[in-house]
Amino acid sequence: MSKQTKEQIIHALVTSRLDCCNALLVGVPSSAFSRLQRVHHNAARVLTKTGKYARISHILRQLHWLPVKRSIVFKICLTTFKFLHGQAPQYLSEMVSVTQSVRSLRSSEATRLVVPMTRTVTYGDRTFTKVAPLELSSFSS
């Protein structure tokens, strides 16, 4: 089987499923990511014909694949970027709002999103409206 065929199969069966709705995994403990990350690493090993005990970090870099956790943060930041530039779906644009500065300050030039208060720490803090402003601020810092 050619490398291009393997790559298409891996993207169709593995990578697409890891990327689909992975933003729902925000706030999940790191131990929950170990299985997903293992599948990700094994897919890279199959694609590059790398041994089981070989280091995987340079292979992932060579394939331009982000680790699962960073992929989630990237997807949230990308969606937030699209929102800020008017390219996001309408329902997301209604969920997130930009703060308006009352006074003229140096920090008023920076775009800041409103972080809503939530009632439930378990699920409320994992919603896009709460996570997007927090990830954007941690990403830009």
pLDDT tens readout for residues 74-121: 888 888 788 878 888 887 777 777 766 666 666 556 666 666 666 666
Q: Distance (Å, rounded) from C-alpha 120 to C-alpha 114?
A: 18
Q: In this structure, what is the dihedral angle of CA atoms 42, 52, 59, 137, given to the nearest 10 degrees?
A: 60
Q: In this structure, what is the dihedral angle of CA atoms 102, 96, 69, 74, given to the nearest 10 degrees?
A: -80
Q: Distance (Å, rounded) from C-alpha 29 to C-alpha 136?
A: 20
Q: Is 26 helix (H, G, I), strand (E, B) or coil?
A: coil
Coarse DSSP helix, strand, coil percentages of the chain, rounded to the nearest 5 percent = 65, 0, 35
Domain boundaries, the chain: 3-71, 72-140
pLDDT at residue 138 greater than cutoff 70:
no
Mean pLDDT computed over every residue of the chain: 78
Q: Is 12 helix (H, G, I), strand (E, B) or coil?
A: helix
- Put simply, whether the predicted model's pTM sits higher than 0.75 gets the answer no
Give which of 81, 65, 60 is closest to 135, Cα–Cα: 81
Q: Distance (Å, rounded) from C-alpha 77 to C-alpha 41?
A: 24
27 vs 124 pLDDT, higher one: 27
